[in-house]
Amino acid sequence: MRVLQVNLEERSYPIYIGRQLLSDAAIFQQSITGKQVLIVTNTTIAPLYLEKLRNLLSTIPEVAMLILPDGEQYKQLDMINKIYDELLRSKHHRTTTLIALGGGVIGDMVGFAAATYQRGVNYIQVPTTLLSQVDSSVGGKTGVNHPAGKNMIGAFYQPKAVMIDTDVLDTLPPREFSAGVAEIIKYGLISDAGFFAWLEENMSLLMQRDREALAHAIEISCRTKAGIVAMDEYEGGVRALLNFGHTFGHAIEAHEGYGQWLHGEAVASGMVIAATLSVHRGGLSDGELARICELLTRASLPIHPPATMQVADFLEKMQLDKKVMTGKIRYILLESIGAAVVVDNVGIAEIEQAIAGCR
235 is catalytic: yes
Which among 117, 136, 171 is the end of a domain? 171
The alpha carbons of the chain give a radius of gyration, in whole angstroms, of 20
Domain count, the chain: 2
Give the side-chain half-sphere CA count within 13 A for 113: 33
Cα 196 to Cα 109, 214, 217, 290, 338: the distances in Å are: 31, 14, 10, 13, 8
The catalytic position among 246, 317, 323, 330 is: 246
Whether 13 and 161 share a structural domain: yes
**Residue 206 belongs to domain spanning:** 190-357
Measured between alpha carbons, how far is 75 from 54 in angstroms, rounded to an integer? 24
151 is catalytic: no
317 is catalytic: no
Whether 119 and 237 share a structural domain: no
250 is catalytic: yes
141 is catalytic: yes
183 is catalytic: yes
Task: Give 326's pLDDT tier (boundaries 50, 70, 90).
Answer: low
Task: Give 359's pLDDT tier (boundaries 50, 70, 90).
Answer: confident
Measured between alpha carbons, how far is 241 from 145 in angstroms, rounded to an integer? 21
State the CATH number of the domain containing residue 66. 3.40.50.1970
Give the side-chain half-sphere CA count within 13 A for 34: 18
* Mean pLDDT (whole number) for 156-179: 97
In a domain, 224, yes or no: yes
Tell how far CA 12 is from the center of its chain: 19
The catalytic position among 141, 223, 317, 322 is: 141
93 is catalytic: no
State the CATH number of the domain containing residue 332. 1.20.1090.10
The catalytic position among 82, 150, 225, 322 is: 225
pLDDT at 148: 82
Whether 231 and 156 share a structural domain: no
* pLDDT higher than threshold 80 for residue 19: yes
* pLDDT higher than threshold 90 for residue 56: yes
* pLDDT higher than threshold 90 for residue 349: yes
Which among 140, 171, 202 is the end of a domain? 171
Whether 28 and 98 share a structural domain: yes
The catalytic position among 183, 253, 265, 288 is: 183
Whether 155 and 216 share a structural domain: no
> 3-state DSSP call for residue 178?
helix
In a domain, 119, yes or no: yes
Instruction: Kindly report, residue by residue over 303-325, the tens digit of the pLDDT.
Output: 999 998 999 999 999 988 766 75
pLDDT at 147: 86
